[in-house]
Each structure stands twice: as structure tokens, then as C-alpha cells.
Amino acid sequence: MTDLPLRPRLSALEAAWVIARRDFVAVLFSRAFLFFLLGPLFPVIVGGLAGSIGGEVQRDAVSVEVGLAMSANDNAKMVAAANSLAPQLGGAIPVLTDVPEAQGDPAFDARAFMEARRGNYAAILTGSLAKPTLVGTEGQVARWQGPVALIAGNAMQAEPAAFPQVSADLVATSAASEKSSRVQTAQIAQMLLFLLTMLLAGMVLSNLVEEKANKIIEILAAAIPMDAVFMGKLFAMLAVSFVGIAVWASAAFGLWALGGDAITQATGFNPANLPAPAVGWPLFLVLGVIYFAMAYLLLGALFLTIGSMASSVREVQTLSMPVTMLQLMVFFLAAYVIKQPGSALELAAIAFPLSSPFAMLARAAMEPELWTHALALAWQAGAVIVLVKGGSLLFRKRVMKSGGAGRDKAKKGLRTA
């Protein structure tokens, strides 16, 4: 067999495009990707059902009833005072009900009654209006001691307390209200970014390990620059991730269109009521997409490096665990500094590449300045390039033996039929 002439070597950009297109098509039209798209639906459904059932159980289990075991006259005065205070204090006032077992029984022991776990009272009030005693657990007594004292004080007055009518002068917003509301938007955006990144970044690792086991990666490394291979794989998996997000977002929109009112009543959450971020919704969504891409590329570059060091799936799991825990810690760091804008800790979270996308997305919700995002994105892009360069160099040294026998053997296989 004669040697075939080799084509001119592709540039790094062309090679990265070839790898990206190949991996994107291979993953997108695989059966595994279909099951991957369906995977998150099951935890969401189970979590929604569990949350709904848990909320119902919690509402049924938590009692706001305080039993009255005083004289009939004092009991009546306490109930009347509580009713007069309820319009002003609402849920801060407990529900007062007579304890049937205490009526007409001067020897009624409230402490023994509570320790016997009889009834469903948060606490029981004994004694008199002048010297009331609240019997209950430490938490319940601490919760209701103040309201009960307020009711008893009102009940001791000859005439019910007259409350002045407070007029209202409403404003659209305030600095404190705007800041606290934007914190909620920042927290939800960070959580969504973290979940999507951790859920989707693992595809990069599994793809590289599979090709490494099949020796395909060595042939690719012999034909094109390893940097281009890593970069192509990263962007291919990023494109696949965007497809997955588009599918999930479409499914969520469809579910919301069909049962948005029911979902709101069950969860108490309505996306339409989320406070607007400081940069405005259109730009915030654009920055969210960009920061997701950066977070994905940064974590994916680390996973590629881990895949280049591992020789088996079990070893991959062992090596990836520290990175996963590190990503969890940097997420906690970025979440912690939301309420500390401009602090040294926030600047550290922005400077550290893995936490930078999370911290900057929160800043987009809290602060209107845009120039900081340009600097942060440039810094994150540089970190991606450094990680890809370092990962490809490590791969060459550990697997390709710096262009030794493995590379020569792969080149020879390309030249001969």
C-alpha cells in the first residue's frame, strides 16, 4: 500500500469548528440525549408533589391555638380582647379557645394535661388576668408570651382600647424596598445558573472519557492541535446544553400556559411578580445567557482536564468530586456576598473565575452599571483559554507522551490504508 498525501493541516479555529460540529451532531441525535432531556422532569414532578404534600402536612400540624383555663369571666374577656386586636395584628394574635376539661374543675393541672399530649393546643393559659401563666414548650411560650400579655392587658381595661385610624400615603417604591426585592431576583437567578451548570457540565466529562477509552482522542490529537480538540468539545457541549435548555424552557412555558393559576396556588410562586433587576429584564436575560456560557466553559474546561488525567470511569468519579464540591463552595460564596456589594469579599468572588459568573449575575440584578460586566467577561474568557491550554498540555504529557510513539503510530495509521 502506498502512502496517501496528507492534506494541509487545519488551523486551530477550523479544527475546533470541525470537532464542535462532529460532537454536536453525534450527541444531539443520540438516544442517550433524549433520555437526558427527560431526566430532570422526574425530580421536578416528585419534588413538586413532595413539597405540596409537605406543605399541607405542615399547615395541619402547626397549631396556633392557645387554650384558656382561667375563670369563665376571664376567658370571655380574653376572647373579646383578642377579637378587638385581631384587625390590627392579624396573624400575630393566637386563636383563643376554652379548654373543656378545665371548665368547672378547680384542680385542673395544665402542666400534666400538656405532658399527657392531650388536645392540640400550642399552649394553655392559666391563672388570672392580673397574673396569667402560660404553660407550654419553650418555643411556643416564647412565641405567644408577648401577644398573650398584650391581650390580657387589653382585657383588664374597663373600656376596650380605641385604636386611631392610620391613613395611608402610598409611594411606588423606596430604596429599601427596591434593594430587598432585587435580592430575591439575584438569588433565584444564581440558583438557576448553578443548577443548570452542574446538571449540564457533566456531559463534557463523559464525552471525553468515552473517546479516550476508544482511542479516538489520540487519533484526533495526532491530526489537529489538542487545544482545538478541547475547545471544539467545549463549544459543542455548550451548544447541546442550549438545545436542552430551550426544550426545558418550552416545556415549562407550556405547563405554565396550561395550569399557571393552579401552580401559583400550590407553590405560591409567580414569575410575573419577580422584581425587575437593576439593568432591566431584556439585558438581564442576555447577561444570564452569557454568564451561563462562561460558567459552563470554565467548569467544562476543568472537567476536560480531569478526563485527561483519568484512565477509567471510576477514577473520573473520584477526581471530579473535589471539583464538584469546590463549585458548591464558590456558589455559596457568591450567594453570601449578594448583600455585601463593593466589599472585599464580593471583589474576591468576582476575581475568582469559578465564582465570577454567579457574583456578576447577582450584581446585574442589584447594580445598573454595565462596564463592570465587560471587564468580568473578558477576565472569564481569559480564564477559559488558560484552563484549556493547561488541560491540553497536561493531556499531551500524560497520554500522548509529548508527541512520542503514540502520535507517530496515529500518523502512520492515517497515511496507510
pLDDT in tens, the chain (417 residues): 445 444 556 778 888 888 889 889 888 888 878 888 877 666 666 655 555 555 554 454 455 788 888 888 888 888 888 888 887 776 678 888 888 888 867 778 888 888 887 777 888 889 888 889 999 888 888 888 888 888 888 888 766 666 666 667 665 555 555 666 788 889 889 999 998 898 888 777 777 666 766 667 767 767 788 888 889 989 999 999 999 999 888 888 887 777 666 666 655 566 667 778 889 899 999 999 999 999 999 998 888 887 777 666 677 777 778 878 888 898 898 889 888 888 899 999 999 999 999 999 999 998 888 999 999 999 999 999 999 998 888 877 766 654 444 444 444 444 444
Same domain flag for 251 and 301: yes
* Residues 148, 181 within the same domain: no
| Residue 191 falls inside a structural domain | yes
* The total number of structural domains that make up the chain: 2
| 360 and 265 belong to one structural domain | yes
For residue 123, is it within any domain? yes
> For position 94, which CATH number holds?
3.40.50
Residue 57 included in any domain: no
DSSP letters of 166-184? PP----S--HHHHHHHHHH
182 and 308 in one domain? yes
240 and 97 both lie in a single domain: no
Shared domain for 192 and 267, answered yes or no, is: yes
Residue 154 CA from chain centroid, whole number: 46
Whether 349 and 396 share a structural domain: yes
User: Residue 119 belongs to what domain range?
Assistant: 63-155
Same domain, 151 and 180: no
CB of 287 closer than 8 Å to CB of 367? no
Which of 122, 155, 188 delimits the end of a domain? 155
From the list 410, 384, 382, 335, the residue with the least C-alpha distance to 204 is 384
Residues 35 and 72 in one domain: no
Is 5 within a domain?
no
Q: What is the 3-state secondary structure (H, E, C) of 7-67?
A: CCCCCHHHHHHHHHHHHHHHHHCCHHHHHHHHCCHHHHHHHHHHHHHHHHHHHHHCCCEEE
Other CB atoms within a 10 A radius of the CB of residue 329 amount to 12
Q: Are residues 253 and 331 in the same domain?
A: yes
pTM: 0.69
Same domain, 313 and 276: yes
The answer to whether residue 337 is domain-embedded is: yes
Q: Are strands 132-136 and 123-127 parallel, antiparallel or unpaired?
A: antiparallel
Please indicate, yes or no, if residue 117 is contained in any of the structural domains. Answer: yes
Q: Which of 155, 184, 211 is the last residue of a domain?
A: 155
CA distance 14 to 298: 22
46 assigned to some structural domain: no
Specify if 51 maps to a domain.
Answer: no
Kindly state whether residues 235 and 140 are assigned to the same domain: no
Half-sphere exposure of 244 (CA within 13 A, CB side): 26
- From 155, 190, 219, the end of a domain falls on 155
